[in-house]
Every structure is written in structure tokens, then in C-alpha cells.
Structure 1
Amino acid sequence: MPNAPLVRRGMVGLVLLVVFSSTALAQGLIFTAPPRESPAAGAKLYGPLAEALTRLLGKKVTYQHPENWLRYQRNMRNDTYDIIFDGPHFASWRMTHLGHRAVAKLPGTLEFYLLRAKDNPDIKAPEDLIGKKICGISPPNLSTLSVLARFDNPVRQPIILGIRGGMGKVYKRFMSGSCDALVLRTTFYKKKLKPDDRAGLEIIYHTPPLPNQVITVSKRLSPAEQRRLAQALTTPGPVQKASLSIVKRFGGKARSFVKATQAEYEGHNALLEGVIFGW
């Protein structure tokens, strides 16, 4: 058979192509976000974006729920994740230590109020809270870390009473008399509390504004893939459409992600390092 060597070479090439494609598929990317919801809810929220990114990048992108905060932080420090959506303090740490790049963020800033009850004569300023309890979402949530950054001396700080379940639960716990002060996001204070509720509170500290939540990517994505991802998230198309449920939940009235820069996230890792055990 005169063409047998040619046929064999063609078969070998086909086998190599299949092997190469399977290897590329196996070496997929992991997309994650903090465990703020159940695994099922996380898959519903982030799964569509992972599928859209798979089609965009030509390699499998899988959403992985981190199970809990300890595992999330451990896996992040071990560089397990390739694409992550979370707060500026975590993103800054990854940029500094793992070489992550910021590709797209939610518009606006993250700011928080430290509040006291107006009828509490013992609390007039943040310094009056040293050694006293503040109700806030459990660290490493950005709200409580932003307030703790106000206190330079680590042995002269308030005691954080960590609350799970969101800002509404923080307010309810404060109103039950569990704490001397509380931390709320400024938008929650202005939009979710009733006028009568706000009338009973006084702002004693307003944290400096921080850039909003952001999507960062690891060095395992090439510069070209990073640019393609940033463009797809911030311009109309299938990827932006798949991200709208995330924007709606975390971005208020925002319509889409916007492009992010490295510079605006620099230095915010200081909120974590030396403050939270393990960082």
C-alpha cells in the first residue's frame, strides 16, 4: 500500500491533536469568590460567567465554591485560584505576592461608618471604644478591617463582636445592646435604615474610600487572555451579559463591570497583613 506511511503519519498527527486538546482542557482555570452564599447559590450566581469565560478563552473555566472562609484564605495564599472576584484588600495581597492582575471592577467605592447610639454619653470618639465591643461582620470582612486600621496600636483596639448574615444582622445585634458601637457600609446606612433608625445613631468615624470589588487573574493567564477578559467584561456581549447577576447583587445601580488598574489597588494588603492571623 503506497500511501500507508502517509496514512500512519496522519493518524499519529490526529492522535497528538486529540491528546493536546485533552491536556489543554484538563489544565483548566478555577474561578471563585468568597463563600458568602451556599454552594448551590454560588453555582447559580457565578456558574454562567464561568461558562461564558470558557467560550471566550477556549479553555475550561470552572466555578469552585471554597466551602468556608478558612479554606478560601488558605487556597488563595497557596495560589490555587486563577480568576477571583472579591474585595480590594484580598486583591491587593494577590497582586503583591502572587502577581495577579486586576481586569475589571464594580464602579464606585467602598466606605464605612463607625456609629454610636446618640444617647450613649460614654462614646464620643473612636478612642473611647478601646477595649469595648463593636458589632461588625466577622473579619476578614473589609468593613471591620477598615475600622481597625484607625487604631495604630494593636494592644489598644476595640473588641470586634463578629456577626454573620450581613449588615442587617449587625444592626439588630447592636440594637439588642450587645455592643457599644457598630460598623455599617455607608450605602446600607443611607438606603436601608429608616429615618427613625438613623436618627438614633451618630457617625463617629468615616473610613477612607477604597476601590470596589474587583476581578483579578493569575499569571497562568497570558497577557493577551487578560486583555480579552477585561474587554469582554466591560463591553456588551455574552460575557458581560453572564456577569449581570453579579453586578446586580453587589454593584447597586451599576450596569456592568468597568476596567480596573493595578495602581488603585496598591497598598490595601496592609489591611490584612499583620492584622489577621495567617496573613
Structure 2
Amino acid sequence: MRLLSTSVVLSLLLTTTASAEWILSAPPREDADEAARLYAPLAAELSKALNDKVVFKAPTGWAAFSQEMKEDKYDFVIDGPHFVAWRMEHTRHVPLVRVDGQLAYTVFAGKDGPARLEDLKFKNVCSMASPNLAAVVLLAQFDSYVAPNVVAPRGGFKGALAAFEEGRCAAVALPNFFIEKLPPEKVAGLKTLFTSTEMPGLALTAGPRVPAAQHTLLVKALTDPAAQTNLKPLLDNLSGKEGGALVPAAATDYAGYQKLLEGVVWGW
């Protein structure tokens, strides 16, 4: 058998590396077409910064997203602090940039509904499906054997609020950025049962296949004003308001939030 020369082997390795695609993903909050529209500009900015191809892969659902994350199939992921911390702990991901601002969640009941958070044991609470952070924060307040049943109607948080108003749930769990956009008279008609502490915003992490030497370059590229302009629809969507922005992320800000998954959400 003829042995390949060192130069040929190196050439083959470089060709294989260059032809590989980096995979970007995010939680399945939108349908595949809408997700592609929102995240394609982020894949383009990453591709430009790396001078290599980054493609966005929309997961088929929460189960697929969770499984592929556990199998370290993604090179870049942008999502909430509980997932960021889990990947830091288990798959050596590093946070690069985060959506500016803090996250917090509030659980409401009707004026004549349950009086205390603990009154929601075994009851239906409308929200997004677990492991969305709104549901996870709610479930973390209860022992698993008495936890509320999270009802996730179609239509995201808007659908959850509508279902609560129709009487399908005893309470509703919503992000504060969503609540801030509601008419004051609607909020005035609700009873606050619980408000979470503030948590760091959604972050973009890079996996172990992304060279550490590229991290600073990526942070600089993604926080550049021109990139932020290109990413405006996505950033406004992720921040829940106009003027969303990316800022450098610190790993210390996310340490420990994996506990919102582990021992709280089945399978984690």
C-alpha cells in the first residue's frame, strides 16, 4: 500500500475542515420559516466574522432541541440563562455576547383567584411549555410531586394570557418584558402571586469546536453597530422591545443557572 505524503494528508485535512459547516441553533419558539427569517442574519454575521460558513438549524421541537444540545450537535446557540449555564457545565460552551437587559417573570391570578403561590399546587397555569424559562421558573418554586400543570396554548405568551382570561387556568406565568407592553388597566385587574429575581439576558454561546482564539473576534464583530443594525429584527424579538442590543457576556453572570433545569425539568 502506498503511503500518502505529509503534504497530501495535510491538504486533505484542511479541505475537510474548510468544507465543514458551523451549526447555529435556538429554541423552537417560532415555526421553521419564521425562525429562518429571524436567525439567518445572525448566521450571516458569524460567517462573515469567521470567514467560514455558519448555517442556522431550526429544531423540530423542544425534545429535539434538548437532545441535540445534550449531544453537542450545535456550535453556536442563543437562548436563556438556564441552557447557557447547562452547556457551560456539561459541553464546554462559552458565552460570547448576550442580549442587553435582565429577565424576570411574574405569576398572576385573577382578583378572585388563588391568593398565594402555594395555592397553585396541582392546578393549571398557562404559560409557554417547559423548558421555556417562564415555565421552569414557576416549576422551580414547587416540589415536583405537587407542582402545577403547565398549559401551553398556541400563540406563545399572548395565547397563554388569552387562555387564562378564558378561564382555562388558575394563573398565568409571563415574562416582565411582555407584561410591560400590556394596557395598564389589564394588569391592574390581576393579582401578583410571585415575581422572580432578575436573571441575565439570553446569550450566544460558542462550543468547543470553535477555536478560543476566535472568541474575541466574534464578540467584536457582533457588537459592532453595523452588525446590530443587520440583527435588529432578531434583537427586538429576543429582548421583547424596540432597540434590543448585544453586549459582551461574562461566564460568571450565568454560573449556577443550570439548577433551574437539573432536578426541575424531567430529563435534565
Alignment TM-score, normalising by the size of structure 2: 0.91
Matched, 1:156 2:146: yes
- In structure 2, the partner of 1:5 is none
Equivalent residues in 2 for 1:134-145 (5 A)?
134-145=125-136
Q: 1:240 to 1:19 in 2, by over 3 A?
A: farther
Structure 1 residue 126, shift from structure 2 partner = 0.6
For 2:230 and 2:210, locate their aligned partners in 1 and report how far apart those are by CA, in whole Å.
20
Distance 1:208 1:60, change over 3 A: same
Q: Distance in 2 between matches of 1:174 and 1:146?
A: 18
User: Taking every aligned residue pair, what percent have the same amino acid on both sides?
Assistant: 33
Partner residue in 1 for 2:193: 204
Does residue 79 (structure 1) correspond to residue 66 (structure 2)? The answer is no
Paired residue secondary structure (2:225): coil
Aligned mates of 2:229, 2:73 — CA distance in 1: 27
SS at match of 2:100: coil
Deviation at 1:131, TM superposition (A): 1.8
Give the C-alpha shift of residue 54 in structure 1: 1.6
**Could you tell me whether the CA contact under 8 Å between 1:114 and 1:203 is conserved in 2?**
yes
In the alignment, structure 2 segments of 5+ residues that lack a partner are: none
* Residue aligning to 1:23: 16
The 3-state SS of whatever aligns with 2:144 is coil
- 1:207-241 deviation line (CA, Å, top 9, x unaligned): 1111111100001111111111111111234x444
- 1:101 is aligned, of 91, 94, 98, to 94
State whether residues 133 and 160 of structure 1, in contact with CA within 8 Å, keep that contact through their aligned partners in structure 2.
Answer: yes
C-alpha distance in 2 between matches for 1:255 and 1:149? 28
TM-score normalized by the length of structure 1: 0.87
Quote the offset at 1:21 in angstroms.
Answer: 4.9
Task: Single out whichever of 32-41 and 66-75 deviates more from structure 2.
Answer: 32-41
Unaligned 5+ runs, structure 1? 1-11
Query: Match of 2:231?
Result: 243
For these two proteins, the number of residue pairs brought into alignment is 263
CA distance in 1, matches of 2:45, 2:251: 24
Q: Give the alignment of 1:33-182 within 5 angstroms.
A: 33-120=26-113, 123-151=114-142, 153-182=143-172
Distance 1:267 1:89 in 2: 8
Secondary structure of the 1:59 match is: coil
1:64 partner amino acid? K
- Computed over aligned residues only, the root mean square deviation of the Cα atoms, in angstroms, reads 2.0
* Counterpart code for 2:28: P
CA distance in 1, matches of 2:6, 2:262: 51
